[in-house]
Amino acid sequence: MTTNSASALSYTRGPAVPLIEKTISQLLAHTAARFPKGEALVVCHQGVRLTWAELDREVTRTARGLAGLGLNRGDRVGIWASNCLEWILLQHSASRAGLVLVNVNPAYRSHELRYVLRKSHIRALFLHEKDARANYHEILEESRNGETLPLDRVIYIGAKSWEDMIAAGVDCPEDLGKPEDVANIQYTSGTTGNPKGVLLTHRNLVNNGMAIGLALGAGPDDRICAPVPLYHCFGSVIGSMVSCVYGATLIMPSPQFDAHATLAAVQNEHATMLYGVPTMYVAEMSLPDFESFDLSSLTKGVMSGAPCPIELMKKVGERMHVQRMTIPYGQTESSPVITLSSVDDTFDHRVMTVGPALANTEVKIVHPETGADLPTGEQGELCTRGYLVMEGYDADPKATDAVVDSEGWLHTGDLAIMRPDGYISFKGRAKDTIIRGGENIYPVEVEQFLHTHPKIADVYVVGIPDAKLGETVVAWVRLKNGHTSTPEEIQDFCRGKIAYFKIPQYVRFVSDFPMTVTKKIQKFIMRDLEIKERGLEEIANQATA
């Protein structure tokens, strides 16, 4: 790592290491050749246990099945499912067949799914028919709503349509893709309304996995317990890509997070590394039988997805044996990780900062309004540059140009301070983002949906601190003249149409909103009032990295 000490500007560059110039599929083949008998994947809830050689063979079978669907190089295929073997097979086989995998959040309901199907031009969608949370078949049919969509193939995981696809497989050329090709599209909530499809290349994903693993000291003897979702970068990159680059075992305890299943997986599979967002660690340590689990195999861990309280980091180290816990910082547009402490850094560095720039990564702090480079120690917007910056937003060059400048710097919209040693302290979001239990929510997206309610004249959404989730959603609603409503009515209107985590936990009915003299909404006043009236001052002032 180097810092610009001569001018004392907030600029740092991670160590230069050779980039991996392979596609995801080529990386898997390489790892399978290096560690053929090493354990690649354990899916506890499906009773699956595969070596790297076995995983490579299953991926080839799945790629042949994809080719048999008549899909062409560059076509998009969607996976709308919780964690399962088939998710990993599709991640690698889409690459092997020269296709682009589109991650669809299983929490999405008809309103959101319809948008993604239209926007992404998914030709084939993979999903479970239903699970304990939802009937996905019914949601899909509702999202279609008689419309003509690009979607022409629907394959149900664990059902006859999946078996038929595998049985009808045909040969497909090897190495169809190139490292610079788009491999994956992940949707991130938009500051201007609808979600944007982030285009991530093989080079983005493989090398971010490599750089993360360097900081984590990952190797083939590591066993990564990852109860985090694969449809997020946390699971599909920090989990799957790190595992594949270093030959580490990836352990998936359950389809969705289950605290008991996670600790059982750590114990039974002798996990050396544990992942999670803060709420997951809290839930695990809150189990009545927590002390009965043998977690002594754990040595390392990752906590991310929301502000990470320093006291929680201490407790995880003490009670869960994760003495080398570290916090990454990033966003989907950066593949995702920008900064990360080494697991061998001092405790203070690991819990009081989000680390220095990763390998092959540049970071600078600029004035949020003028864009001028700031001295170390001054708060500003964090920008990053390097292999990790996304290809762009899908079919949205204007939005891409708004965040990636002419010199290749990605403007994150997040506020941070760079210390003289190059380590970063995260200070909040310049963008209007809420992070609830690891899920990113942009208020304008929720506001636009709530504006479709027939009784609502105007609405603004803010995030407030929450002891369990980090943040939660509050909606301030002004009703149309002559109408009355209840919080429950507003919440019921949202259910089944938008993801559960976007539904306002609290609804406040108001006659007007705090504004400046130029009629700009002052959301900070709304947030401060909610914090004061709900007695959340202590949580709001809690120290985090």
Token pair 């603004």 is at which residue? Answer: 460
Mean pLDDT of the region 206-226: 98
The pLDDT-based confidence of 1 (bands split at 50, 70, 90) is low
Mean pLDDT of the region 161-181: 90
Beta strands 424-429 and 328-330, pairing class:
unpaired
DSSP of 48-62: EEEEHHHHHHHHHHH
Mean pLDDT of the region 473-499: 96
pLDDT at 5: 45
pLDDT at 190: 52
**Are 215 and 343 in contact, with CB atoms under 8 Å apart?**
yes
Q: Which helix (H) or strand (E) holds 323?
A: none
List of residues 6+ apart from 25 with CB closer than 8 A:
59, 63, 92, 93, 95, 96, 175, 177
Mean pLDDT of the region 482-503: 97
**Are 266 and 298 in contact, with CB atoms under 8 Å apart?**
yes
Count CB atoms within 10 A of the CB of residue 451: 11
Cα 255 to Cα 44, 94, 124, 449, 506, distances in angstroms: 9, 21, 22, 29, 29
- Residue 365 is encoded by which pair of tokens? 């702090």
Number of residues that this document lists for the chain: 545
> What domains appear along the chain, each with residue ranges and CATH number?
1-13+357-431 (2.30.38.10), 434-540 (3.30.300.30)
Which residue from 213, 212, 240, 211 is spatially nearest to 226, judged by alpha carbons? Answer: 240
Exposure of 15 by Cβ count < 10 A (0-12 exposed, 13-18 middle, 19+ buried)? middle
pLDDT at 2 over 60: no
- Tens digits of per-residue pLDDT, 379-431? 999 999 999 999 999 999 999 999 999 999 999 999 899 999 999 998 876 66
pLDDT at 519: 59
pLDDT at 368: 87
Exposure of 514 by Cβ count < 10 A (0-12 exposed, 13-18 middle, 19+ buried)? middle
The pLDDT-based confidence of 273 (bands split at 50, 70, 90) is very high
The pLDDT-based confidence of 350 (bands split at 50, 70, 90) is very high
- Tens digits of per-residue pLDDT, 531-541? 999 999 999 88
DSSP of 444-488: HHHHHHHTTSTTEEEEEEEEEEETTTEEEEEEEEEEPTT----HH
Rg (CA), the chain: 23
Backbone angles phi, psi at 405, to 5 degrees: -85, 180
Mean pLDDT of the region 8-17: 97
Cis ω for the linkage preceding 336 (within 30 of 0): yes
- Residue 419 is encoded by which pair of tokens? 């210390």
pLDDT at 164 over 50: yes
- Tens digits of per-residue pLDDT, 60-94? 999 999 999 999 999 999 999 999 999 999 999 99
Q: Average pLDDT, whole number, for the chain? A: 93
Mean pLDDT of the region 122-131: 97
pLDDT at 305: 78
